[in-house]
Protein backbone atom coordinates (compact mmCIF):
# COMPACT_ATOMS: atom_id res chain seq x y z
CA UNK A 1 0.00 0.00 0.00
CA UNK A 2 2.88 2.34 0.74
CA UNK A 3 4.07 2.13 -2.88
CA UNK A 4 0.56 2.93 -4.07
CA UNK A 5 0.38 5.99 -1.81
CA UNK A 6 3.72 7.15 -3.17
CA UNK A 7 2.31 6.97 -6.70
CA UNK A 8 -0.51 9.42 -6.00
CA UNK A 9 -0.31 12.72 -7.87
CA UNK A 10 -1.11 16.12 -6.39
CA UNK A 11 -4.61 16.23 -7.88
CA UNK A 12 -5.36 12.70 -6.67
CA UNK A 13 -4.38 13.66 -3.13
CA UNK A 14 -6.49 16.81 -3.33
CA UNK A 15 -9.73 14.96 -4.05
CA UNK A 16 -9.17 12.01 -1.64
CA UNK A 17 -10.84 13.73 1.35
CA UNK A 18 -13.95 14.54 -0.69
CA UNK A 19 -14.71 11.20 -2.37
CA UNK A 20 -17.66 10.65 -0.06
CA UNK A 21 -19.38 13.62 -1.69
CA UNK A 22 -20.16 11.43 -4.76
CA UNK A 23 -20.99 14.59 -6.65
CA UNK A 24 -18.52 15.97 -9.19
CA UNK A 25 -19.61 19.57 -8.67
CA UNK A 26 -19.11 19.34 -4.89
CA UNK A 27 -15.71 17.70 -5.31
CA UNK A 28 -14.67 20.52 -7.68
CA UNK A 29 -15.88 23.14 -5.23
CA UNK A 30 -14.18 21.68 -2.14
CA UNK A 31 -10.92 20.65 -3.85
CA UNK A 32 -10.71 23.93 -5.78
CA UNK A 33 -10.06 21.99 -9.00
CA UNK A 34 -11.77 22.28 -12.37
CA UNK A 35 -14.02 19.50 -13.66
CA UNK A 36 -11.48 18.16 -16.17
CA UNK A 37 -8.82 17.79 -13.47
CA UNK A 38 -11.26 16.07 -11.11
CA UNK A 39 -12.39 13.61 -13.77
CA UNK A 40 -8.77 12.87 -14.68
CA UNK A 41 -7.92 12.24 -11.02
CA UNK A 42 -10.95 9.95 -10.63
CA UNK A 43 -9.83 7.93 -13.64
CA UNK A 44 -6.36 7.54 -12.09
CA UNK A 45 -7.85 6.42 -8.76
CA UNK A 46 -10.12 3.99 -10.59
CA UNK A 47 -7.12 2.46 -12.39
CA UNK A 48 -5.37 2.04 -9.03
CA UNK A 49 -8.40 0.24 -7.51
CA UNK A 50 -8.81 2.98 -4.91
CA UNK A 51 -12.32 3.69 -6.15
CA UNK A 52 -14.75 2.15 -8.63
CA UNK A 53 -16.01 4.70 -11.12
CA UNK A 54 -19.16 3.93 -13.07
CA UNK A 55 -21.16 6.09 -15.44
CA UNK A 56 -24.91 6.15 -15.53
CA UNK A 57 -26.57 7.69 -18.59
CA UNK A 58 -29.96 9.34 -18.35
CA UNK A 59 -32.09 11.49 -20.61
CA UNK A 60 -33.03 14.91 -19.29
CA UNK A 61 -35.82 17.04 -20.75
CA UNK A 62 -34.86 20.72 -20.75
CA UNK A 63 -35.78 23.97 -22.47
CA UNK A 64 -34.41 24.74 -25.92
CA UNK A 65 -33.47 28.16 -27.33
CA UNK A 66 -37.08 29.20 -27.93
CA UNK A 67 -38.17 27.47 -24.73
CA UNK A 68 -35.92 29.71 -22.62
CA UNK A 69 -37.39 32.77 -24.35
CA UNK A 70 -40.98 31.59 -23.93
CA UNK A 71 -40.43 30.80 -20.27
CA UNK A 72 -39.65 34.50 -19.76
CA UNK A 73 -42.12 36.10 -22.19
CA UNK A 74 -44.80 33.40 -22.26
CA UNK A 75 -45.78 30.94 -24.96
CA UNK A 76 -47.03 32.56 -28.20
CA UNK A 77 -50.62 31.37 -27.59
CA UNK A 78 -50.54 32.94 -24.09
CA UNK A 79 -49.39 36.28 -25.55
CA UNK A 80 -52.05 36.15 -28.26
CA UNK A 81 -54.70 35.27 -25.69
CA UNK A 82 -53.75 38.25 -23.49
CA UNK A 83 -53.80 40.50 -26.55
CA UNK A 84 -57.28 39.29 -27.51
CA UNK A 85 -58.47 39.76 -23.93
CA UNK A 86 -58.04 43.49 -24.46
CA UNK A 87 -59.56 43.63 -27.95
CA UNK A 88 -62.06 40.70 -27.92
CA UNK A 89 -62.57 40.97 -31.71
CA UNK A 90 -59.65 41.64 -34.08
CA UNK A 91 -59.40 41.43 -37.90
CA UNK A 92 -57.28 38.42 -38.83
CA UNK A 93 -54.97 40.45 -41.06
CA UNK A 94 -54.13 42.92 -38.26
CA UNK A 95 -53.83 40.45 -35.38
CA UNK A 96 -50.29 39.24 -36.12
CA UNK A 97 -48.64 42.66 -36.29
CA UNK A 98 -50.56 44.06 -33.33
CA UNK A 99 -49.82 41.02 -31.14
CA UNK A 100 -46.06 41.22 -31.86
CA UNK A 101 -45.82 37.57 -32.93
CA UNK A 102 -43.87 36.23 -35.89
CA UNK A 103 -45.77 34.65 -38.78
CA UNK A 104 -44.92 31.13 -37.56
CA UNK A 105 -45.80 31.91 -33.94
CA UNK A 106 -49.10 33.46 -34.96
CA UNK A 107 -50.03 30.49 -37.13
CA UNK A 108 -49.25 28.00 -34.35
CA UNK A 109 -51.06 30.09 -31.74
CA UNK A 110 -54.23 30.19 -33.82
CA UNK A 111 -54.17 26.39 -34.13
CA UNK A 112 -53.58 25.86 -30.40
CA UNK A 113 -56.28 28.30 -29.21
CA UNK A 114 -58.79 27.12 -31.78
CA UNK A 115 -58.12 23.49 -30.77
CA UNK A 116 -58.90 24.39 -27.14
CA UNK A 117 -62.09 26.24 -28.21
CA UNK A 118 -60.80 29.53 -26.78
CA UNK A 119 -61.25 31.47 -30.05
CA UNK A 120 -63.38 31.39 -33.18
CA UNK A 121 -62.51 32.66 -36.64
CA UNK A 122 -65.38 34.05 -38.70
CA UNK A 123 -65.55 36.37 -41.70
CA UNK A 124 -61.85 37.15 -41.50
CA UNK A 125 -61.97 38.09 -37.82
CA UNK A 126 -60.83 36.46 -34.55
CA UNK A 127 -63.45 36.28 -31.81
CA UNK A 128 -62.36 35.54 -28.23
CA UNK A 129 -64.72 32.98 -26.72
CA UNK A 130 -62.69 32.17 -23.56
CA UNK A 131 -63.91 33.20 -20.12
CA UNK A 132 -61.80 35.19 -17.66
CA UNK A 133 -61.03 32.06 -15.64
CA UNK A 134 -59.92 30.18 -18.78
CA UNK A 135 -57.64 33.06 -19.74
CA UNK A 136 -56.00 33.28 -16.30
CA UNK A 137 -55.57 29.51 -15.95
CA UNK A 138 -52.15 28.23 -17.02
CA UNK A 139 -52.07 25.50 -19.65
CA UNK A 140 -50.42 22.10 -19.09
CA UNK A 141 -47.67 23.14 -21.54
CA UNK A 142 -46.89 26.30 -19.54
CA UNK A 143 -46.76 24.39 -16.25
CA UNK A 144 -44.54 21.75 -17.85
CA UNK A 145 -42.16 24.36 -19.30
CA UNK A 146 -41.74 25.96 -15.86
CA UNK A 147 -40.91 22.56 -14.27
CA UNK A 148 -37.91 21.85 -16.52
CA UNK A 149 -35.32 20.35 -16.37
CA UNK A 150 -36.64 16.93 -15.40
CA UNK A 151 -35.52 13.33 -15.92
CA UNK A 152 -37.37 11.74 -18.83
CA UNK A 153 -38.03 8.57 -16.83
CA UNK A 154 -39.81 10.62 -14.12
CA UNK A 155 -42.38 12.21 -16.43
CA UNK A 156 -46.02 11.77 -15.47
CA UNK A 157 -48.61 10.95 -18.17
CA UNK A 158 -49.71 14.62 -18.22
CA UNK A 159 -46.11 15.82 -18.58
CA UNK A 160 -45.48 13.26 -21.33
CA UNK A 161 -48.50 14.61 -23.22
CA UNK A 162 -47.17 18.17 -22.86
CA UNK A 163 -43.71 17.05 -24.00
CA UNK A 164 -45.08 15.51 -27.21
CA UNK A 165 -47.17 18.61 -27.83
CA UNK A 166 -44.22 21.02 -27.45
CA UNK A 167 -41.81 18.81 -29.42
CA UNK A 168 -43.90 19.47 -32.52
CA UNK A 169 -42.76 23.07 -32.33
CA UNK A 170 -39.32 24.42 -33.14
CA UNK A 171 -36.59 24.43 -30.44
CA UNK A 172 -38.90 24.76 -27.42
CA UNK A 173 -37.83 21.46 -25.90
CA UNK A 174 -34.58 19.53 -26.08
CA UNK A 175 -33.83 16.08 -24.71
CA UNK A 176 -30.19 15.69 -23.68
CA UNK A 177 -28.35 12.53 -22.72
CA UNK A 178 -26.32 13.29 -19.60
CA UNK A 179 -23.73 11.27 -17.75
CA UNK A 180 -23.80 10.75 -14.01
CA UNK A 181 -20.68 9.47 -12.29
CA UNK A 182 -21.11 6.93 -9.50
CA UNK A 183 -18.12 6.90 -7.12
CA UNK A 184 -17.59 4.06 -4.66
CA UNK A 185 -14.57 3.90 -2.37
CA UNK A 186 -13.03 0.43 -2.18
CA UNK A 187 -11.68 -1.17 1.02
CA UNK A 188 -8.16 -0.36 -0.18
CA UNK A 189 -9.31 3.20 -0.88
CA UNK A 190 -10.57 3.69 2.66
CA UNK A 191 -7.21 2.52 4.04
CA UNK A 192 -5.36 4.98 1.82
CA UNK A 193 -7.67 7.89 2.70
CA UNK A 194 -6.92 7.27 6.40
CA UNK A 195 -3.19 6.70 5.87
CA UNK A 196 -0.78 9.27 7.30
CA UNK A 197 1.57 8.75 4.35
CA UNK A 198 -0.85 10.62 2.08
CA UNK A 199 0.17 13.95 3.60
CA UNK A 200 3.88 13.42 2.87
CA UNK A 201 5.30 15.67 0.17
CA UNK A 202 6.88 13.94 -2.80
CA UNK A 203 8.85 15.45 -5.65
CA UNK A 204 6.64 15.38 -8.76
CA UNK A 205 9.19 16.16 -11.48
CA UNK A 206 12.85 16.94 -12.04
CA UNK A 207 13.46 20.49 -13.20
CA UNK A 208 16.64 22.53 -13.78
CA UNK A 209 15.74 24.67 -10.76
CA UNK A 210 15.41 21.56 -8.58
CA UNK A 211 18.80 20.21 -9.62
CA UNK A 212 20.54 23.51 -8.91
CA UNK A 213 19.72 23.34 -5.20
CA UNK A 214 20.90 20.16 -3.55
CA UNK A 215 18.83 20.71 -0.42
CA UNK A 216 15.63 20.73 -2.49
CA UNK A 217 15.99 17.07 -3.53
CA UNK A 218 18.58 15.40 -1.29
CA UNK A 219 17.12 12.81 1.13
CA UNK A 220 13.65 13.40 -0.33
CA UNK A 221 11.38 10.93 -2.09
CA UNK A 222 10.18 11.13 -5.65
CA UNK A 223 6.67 10.15 -6.62
CA UNK A 224 6.36 6.71 -8.17
CA UNK A 225 5.08 6.51 -11.75
CA UNK A 226 3.21 3.55 -13.23
CA UNK A 227 4.58 3.37 -16.76
CA UNK A 228 1.95 0.77 -17.72
CA UNK A 229 -0.93 3.23 -17.36
CA UNK A 230 -2.53 4.62 -20.50
CA UNK A 231 -1.61 8.18 -21.34
CA UNK A 232 -3.61 10.74 -23.35
CA UNK A 233 -3.22 10.24 -27.07
CA UNK A 234 -1.19 12.95 -28.81
CA UNK A 235 -2.42 13.75 -32.32
CA UNK A 236 0.40 15.21 -34.34
CA UNK A 237 -0.10 17.20 -37.51
CA UNK A 238 -0.31 15.30 -40.77
CA UNK A 239 -1.43 15.81 -44.34
CA UNK A 240 -5.05 15.18 -45.28
CA UNK A 241 -5.44 11.53 -46.26
CA UNK A 242 -6.69 12.50 -49.75
CA UNK A 243 -3.50 14.52 -50.34
CA UNK A 244 -1.41 11.55 -49.15
CA UNK A 245 -3.15 9.31 -51.69
CA UNK A 246 -2.71 11.90 -54.46
CA UNK A 247 1.02 12.00 -53.73
CA UNK A 248 1.13 8.22 -54.01
CA UNK A 249 -0.83 8.28 -57.28
CA UNK A 250 1.60 10.82 -58.71
CA UNK A 251 4.50 8.65 -57.58
CA UNK A 252 3.06 5.67 -59.50
CA UNK A 253 2.69 7.60 -62.76
CA UNK A 254 6.14 9.23 -62.55
CA UNK A 255 7.75 5.84 -61.83
CA UNK A 256 6.05 4.58 -65.00
CA UNK A 257 7.75 7.35 -66.99
CA UNK A 258 4.90 9.89 -67.14
CA UNK A 259 5.25 13.67 -66.98
CA UNK A 260 2.72 15.73 -65.01
CA UNK A 261 0.21 18.13 -66.64
CA UNK A 262 -1.21 21.16 -64.81
CA UNK A 263 -3.87 23.76 -65.57
CA UNK A 264 -6.51 26.11 -64.20
CA UNK A 265 -9.90 25.06 -62.84
CA UNK A 266 -11.62 27.55 -65.16
CA UNK A 267 -11.31 26.70 -68.85
CA UNK A 268 -13.06 27.76 -72.02
CA UNK A 269 -15.65 25.45 -73.58
CA UNK A 270 -13.25 25.18 -76.51
CA UNK A 271 -10.75 23.13 -74.49
CA UNK A 272 -13.27 21.32 -72.27
CA UNK A 273 -15.68 20.30 -75.04
CA UNK A 274 -14.94 21.42 -78.62
CA UNK A 275 -11.34 20.29 -78.85
CA UNK A 276 -12.53 16.87 -77.63
CA UNK A 277 -15.13 16.57 -80.40
CA UNK A 278 -18.11 17.07 -78.07
CA UNK A 279 -20.95 18.50 -80.15
CA UNK A 280 -22.28 21.88 -79.05
CA UNK A 281 -25.78 20.45 -78.67
CA UNK A 282 -24.58 17.45 -76.62
CA UNK A 283 -26.53 17.07 -73.30
CA UNK A 284 -23.30 17.08 -71.25
CA UNK A 285 -22.88 20.78 -72.12
CA UNK A 286 -26.25 21.79 -70.72
CA UNK A 287 -26.70 23.77 -67.53
CA UNK A 288 -27.78 20.75 -65.46
CA UNK A 289 -24.42 19.05 -65.98
CA UNK A 290 -21.93 21.93 -66.12
CA UNK A 291 -21.06 24.94 -63.95
CA UNK A 292 -20.84 27.88 -66.37
CA UNK A 293 -18.94 31.07 -65.51
CA UNK A 294 -20.55 34.38 -66.38
CA UNK A 295 -17.62 35.32 -68.60
CA UNK A 296 -16.31 34.56 -72.07
CA UNK A 297 -12.69 33.67 -72.66
CA UNK A 298 -10.36 33.95 -75.62
CA UNK A 299 -9.84 31.24 -78.23
CA UNK A 300 -6.36 30.01 -79.24
CA UNK A 301 -4.84 30.80 -82.65
CA UNK A 302 -7.05 30.73 -85.74
CA UNK A 303 -5.37 27.65 -87.20
CA UNK A 304 -6.53 25.24 -84.52
CA UNK A 305 -9.93 26.94 -84.24
CA UNK A 306 -10.41 26.40 -87.98
CA UNK A 307 -9.32 22.74 -87.66
CA UNK A 308 -11.71 22.05 -84.78
CA UNK A 309 -14.55 23.83 -86.62
CA UNK A 310 -13.91 21.64 -89.69
CA UNK A 311 -13.90 18.45 -87.58
CA UNK A 312 -17.29 19.36 -86.08
CA UNK A 313 -18.99 20.54 -89.27
CA UNK A 314 -17.61 18.22 -91.98
CA UNK A 315 -15.27 15.76 -90.27
CA UNK A 316 -11.66 14.72 -90.89
CA UNK A 317 -9.89 11.56 -92.07
CA UNK A 318 -12.99 10.24 -93.84
CA UNK A 319 -15.53 10.99 -91.06
CA UNK A 320 -18.65 13.13 -91.56
CA UNK A 321 -18.35 15.19 -88.36
CA UNK A 322 -21.51 16.28 -86.55
CA UNK A 323 -23.01 18.12 -89.52
CA UNK A 324 -24.04 21.41 -87.90
CA UNK A 325 -22.87 25.04 -87.93
CA UNK A 326 -20.22 25.35 -85.24
CA UNK A 327 -20.64 28.52 -83.10
CA UNK A 328 -17.48 30.34 -82.06
CA UNK A 329 -19.25 32.29 -79.28
CA UNK A 330 -20.49 29.06 -77.69
CA UNK A 331 -16.91 27.83 -77.68
CA UNK A 332 -15.73 30.94 -75.78
CA UNK A 333 -18.02 30.32 -72.78
CA UNK A 334 -15.94 29.59 -69.68
CA UNK A 335 -16.77 26.72 -67.32
CA UNK A 336 -15.43 25.00 -64.24
CA UNK A 337 -13.63 22.12 -65.92
CA UNK A 338 -15.79 18.99 -65.95
CA UNK A 339 -12.75 16.75 -66.43
CA UNK A 340 -8.97 16.96 -66.58
CA UNK A 341 -9.03 15.74 -70.21
CA UNK A 342 -8.93 19.40 -71.24
CA UNK A 343 -5.33 19.35 -69.98
CA UNK A 344 -4.61 16.45 -72.34
CA UNK A 345 -6.05 18.45 -75.25
CA UNK A 346 -3.86 21.45 -74.44
CA UNK A 347 -0.80 19.22 -74.02
CA UNK A 348 -1.37 17.56 -77.41
CA UNK A 349 -1.75 20.98 -79.05
CA UNK A 350 1.68 22.06 -77.75
CA UNK A 351 3.35 18.73 -78.54
CA UNK A 352 5.75 18.42 -81.46
CA UNK A 353 6.03 15.37 -83.70
CA UNK A 354 9.77 14.96 -83.02
CA UNK A 355 9.02 14.45 -79.31
CA UNK A 356 7.07 11.18 -79.83
CA UNK A 357 6.57 8.91 -77.94
CA UNK A 358 5.35 10.80 -74.88
CA UNK A 359 3.42 9.97 -71.70
CA UNK A 360 1.57 12.49 -69.52
CA UNK A 361 -0.64 12.34 -66.42
CA UNK A 362 -2.64 14.65 -64.16
CA UNK A 363 -4.47 14.22 -60.87
CA UNK A 364 -6.70 17.18 -60.23
CA UNK A 365 -10.05 18.59 -59.18
CA UNK A 366 -13.08 18.56 -61.50
CA UNK A 367 -16.59 19.98 -61.11
CA UNK A 368 -19.97 18.72 -62.31
CA UNK A 369 -23.51 19.75 -61.49
CA UNK A 370 -24.38 16.32 -60.07
CA UNK A 371 -27.03 15.28 -57.57
CA UNK A 372 -24.96 14.62 -54.44
CA UNK A 373 -25.27 11.10 -53.00
CA UNK A 374 -23.03 8.38 -51.55
CA UNK A 375 -21.22 7.83 -54.87
CA UNK A 376 -21.45 11.29 -56.53
CA UNK A 377 -20.28 14.77 -55.66
CA UNK A 378 -20.23 18.13 -57.44
CA UNK A 379 -16.44 18.20 -57.09
CA UNK A 380 -14.05 15.28 -57.29
CA UNK A 381 -10.48 14.36 -58.18
CA UNK A 382 -9.72 12.68 -61.49
CA UNK A 383 -6.63 10.75 -62.58
CA UNK A 384 -5.92 11.69 -66.18
CA UNK A 385 -3.42 10.10 -68.55
CA UNK A 386 -2.40 10.03 -72.22
CA UNK A 387 0.23 8.10 -74.16
CA UNK A 388 1.18 9.39 -77.63
CA UNK A 389 3.17 7.47 -80.21
CA UNK A 390 3.00 5.28 -83.32
CA UNK A 391 2.27 1.57 -82.89
CA UNK A 392 0.13 1.89 -79.79
CA UNK A 393 -3.02 -0.23 -79.50
CA UNK A 394 -5.93 -1.10 -77.19
CA UNK A 395 -3.97 -3.78 -75.30
CA UNK A 396 -1.36 -1.19 -74.33
CA UNK A 397 -4.18 0.96 -72.88
CA UNK A 398 -5.55 -1.88 -70.72
CA UNK A 399 -2.01 -2.75 -69.63
CA UNK A 400 -1.32 0.77 -68.31
CA UNK A 401 -4.64 0.82 -66.45
CA UNK A 402 -4.15 -2.63 -64.91
CA UNK A 403 -0.67 -1.69 -63.73
CA UNK A 404 -1.88 1.56 -62.15
CA UNK A 405 -4.79 -0.04 -60.30
CA UNK A 406 -2.64 -2.94 -59.15
CA UNK A 407 -0.17 -0.49 -57.59
CA UNK A 408 -3.11 1.32 -55.97
CA UNK A 409 -4.10 -1.99 -54.35
CA UNK A 410 -6.97 -3.08 -56.63
CA UNK A 411 -6.89 -6.54 -58.11
CA UNK A 412 -10.63 -6.94 -58.74
CA UNK A 413 -11.38 -4.56 -61.61
CA UNK A 414 -13.12 -5.09 -64.92
CA UNK A 415 -13.43 -3.29 -68.27
CA UNK A 416 -16.71 -3.02 -70.16
CA UNK A 417 -17.41 -1.55 -73.64
CA UNK A 418 -18.60 2.07 -73.56
CA UNK A 419 -19.20 5.15 -75.69
CA UNK A 420 -17.56 8.57 -75.33
CA UNK A 421 -17.63 11.40 -77.89
CA UNK A 422 -13.86 11.65 -78.08
CA UNK A 423 -12.60 8.03 -77.92
CA UNK A 424 -13.13 4.93 -80.06
CA UNK A 425 -12.84 2.16 -79.02
CA UNK A 426 -13.87 3.06 -75.45
CA UNK A 427 -14.17 1.23 -72.13
CA UNK A 428 -15.52 1.92 -68.66
CA UNK A 429 -13.46 0.88 -65.65
CA UNK A 430 -15.29 -0.72 -62.71
CA UNK A 431 -14.21 -2.07 -59.33
CA UNK A 432 -16.12 -4.33 -56.97
CA UNK A 433 -17.48 -2.48 -53.92
CA UNK A 434 -17.42 -5.08 -51.11
CA UNK A 435 -19.89 -3.22 -48.87
CA UNK A 436 -22.47 -2.23 -51.47
CA UNK A 437 -22.00 -5.52 -53.38
CA UNK A 438 -21.98 -3.72 -56.73
CA UNK A 439 -19.55 -2.87 -59.50
CA UNK A 440 -18.79 0.83 -59.09
CA UNK A 441 -17.79 2.88 -62.13
CA UNK A 442 -14.43 4.64 -61.78
CA UNK A 443 -14.30 6.36 -65.14
CA UNK A 444 -13.71 5.98 -68.84
CA UNK A 445 -10.82 5.26 -71.15
CA UNK A 446 -10.15 4.69 -74.83
CA UNK A 447 -8.15 5.76 -77.88
CA UNK A 448 -8.69 9.34 -79.04
CA UNK A 449 -10.66 9.63 -82.28
CA UNK A 450 -9.01 11.17 -85.36
CA UNK A 451 -11.44 14.13 -84.99
CA UNK A 452 -9.61 14.93 -81.73
CA UNK A 453 -6.03 14.07 -82.66
CA UNK A 454 -5.72 15.55 -86.17
CA UNK A 455 -6.89 19.11 -85.29
CA UNK A 456 -4.62 19.16 -82.22
CA UNK A 457 -1.48 17.46 -83.59
CA UNK A 458 -1.88 18.01 -87.33
CA UNK A 459 -1.30 14.29 -87.99
CA UNK A 460 -3.07 11.04 -87.17
CA UNK A 461 -1.28 9.03 -84.49
CA UNK A 462 -2.60 6.69 -81.75
CA UNK A 463 -3.28 8.47 -78.42
CA UNK A 464 -4.27 6.31 -75.45
CA UNK A 465 -6.39 8.23 -72.93
CA UNK A 466 -8.11 7.63 -69.59
CA UNK A 467 -9.70 9.58 -66.74
CA UNK A 468 -11.01 7.50 -63.81
CA UNK A 469 -12.37 9.24 -60.72
CA UNK A 470 -9.56 9.25 -58.17
CA UNK A 471 -11.72 9.79 -55.06
CA UNK A 472 -13.62 6.57 -55.69
CA UNK A 473 -10.31 4.71 -55.82
CA UNK A 474 -9.69 5.73 -52.19
CA UNK A 475 -12.98 4.36 -50.84
CA UNK A 476 -11.92 0.75 -50.30
CA UNK A 477 -8.51 1.52 -48.78
CA UNK A 478 -9.88 4.04 -46.28
CA UNK A 479 -13.12 2.07 -45.69
CA UNK A 480 -15.18 5.09 -46.74
CA UNK A 481 -18.75 4.05 -47.53
CA UNK A 482 -19.96 7.50 -48.59
CA UNK A 483 -17.96 9.90 -50.80
CA UNK A 484 -19.36 12.83 -48.82
CA UNK A 485 -17.33 11.70 -45.80
CA UNK A 486 -14.07 12.43 -47.64
CA UNK A 487 -14.48 16.21 -47.50
CA UNK A 488 -16.44 16.62 -44.25
CA UNK A 489 -13.25 17.69 -42.45
CA UNK A 490 -14.37 16.06 -39.22
CA UNK A 491 -11.26 16.43 -37.05
CA UNK A 492 -12.07 13.26 -35.08
CA UNK A 493 -12.40 11.24 -38.27
CA UNK A 494 -9.24 12.75 -39.77
CA UNK A 495 -7.22 11.82 -36.68
CA UNK A 496 -8.38 8.21 -36.95
CA UNK A 497 -7.64 7.89 -40.69
CA UNK A 498 -4.67 5.66 -41.37
CA UNK A 499 -1.81 6.94 -43.46
CA UNK A 500 -1.37 5.79 -47.03
CA UNK A 501 1.25 3.22 -46.05
CA UNK A 502 1.90 2.15 -49.63
CA UNK A 503 3.68 5.49 -50.07
Domains of the chain plus CATH, in order, are 1-58+157-232 (1.10.10), 65-156 (1.10.10), 243-264+338-496 (3.30.930.10)
pLDDT for 191? 78
Please tell me the total number of residues recorded for the chain in this structure.
503
| pLDDT value of position 453 | 93
Helix (H, G, I), strand (E, B) or coil at 186: coil
**What's the rounded mean pLDDT across residues 255-275?**
93
> In whole angstroms, what separates CA 27 from the centre of its chain?
39
Q: Which pLDDT value is given to residue 503?
A: 43
- Nearest-5° angle of CA 6, CA 8, CA 11? 145
The tens digit of pLDDT for each residue in 312-331 reads: 999 898 888 899 999 999 99
In the prediction, which pLDDT does 22 show? 67
342-366 per-position pLDDT tens digit? 999 999 999 988 888 999 999 999 9
**What values do phi and psi take at 286, rounded to 5?**
-80, 165
Is the pTM above the cut of 0.85? no
Specify the pLDDT at position 396.
95
Average pLDDT, the chain: 85
Task: Give the pLDDT confidence score for residue 306 in this predicted structure.
Answer: 93
Q: What is the DSSP letter of 239?
A: -
- If you count DSSP H runs as helices and E runs as strands, how many of each does the chain have, helices first? 22, 16
pLDDT value at 436 more than 80: no
- Taking 90 as the threshold, does the pLDDT of residue 15 lie above it? no
> What pLDDT score does 325 carry?
93
Distance CA(300)–CA(180), nearest Å, equals: 70
Give yes or no for residue 288 having a pLDDT over 70: no
Reported as a single tens digit per residue, the pLDDT across 369-417 is 877 777 677 888 899 999 999 999 999 999 999 999 888 888 788 999 9
Residue of higher predicted confidence among 191 and 154: 154
Q: How far, in Å, CA of 410 to CA of 404, rounded?
A: 9
pLDDT score of 212: 79
Amino acid sequence: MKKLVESLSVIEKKILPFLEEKNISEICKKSNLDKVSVLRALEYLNNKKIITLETDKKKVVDVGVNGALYRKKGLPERRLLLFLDEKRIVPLNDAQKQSGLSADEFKVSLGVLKGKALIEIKNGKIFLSASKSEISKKSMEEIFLESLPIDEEKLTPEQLFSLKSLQKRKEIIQVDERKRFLIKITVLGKEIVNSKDVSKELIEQITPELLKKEQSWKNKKFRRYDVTLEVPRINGGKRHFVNQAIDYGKKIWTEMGFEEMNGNFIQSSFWVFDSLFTAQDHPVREMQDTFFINHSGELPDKKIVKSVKLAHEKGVSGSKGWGYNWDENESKREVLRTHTTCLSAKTLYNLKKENFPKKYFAIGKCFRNETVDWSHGFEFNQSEGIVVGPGLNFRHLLGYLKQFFKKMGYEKIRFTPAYFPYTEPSVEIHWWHPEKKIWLELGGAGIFRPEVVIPLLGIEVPVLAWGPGFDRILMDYYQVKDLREIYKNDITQLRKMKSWVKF
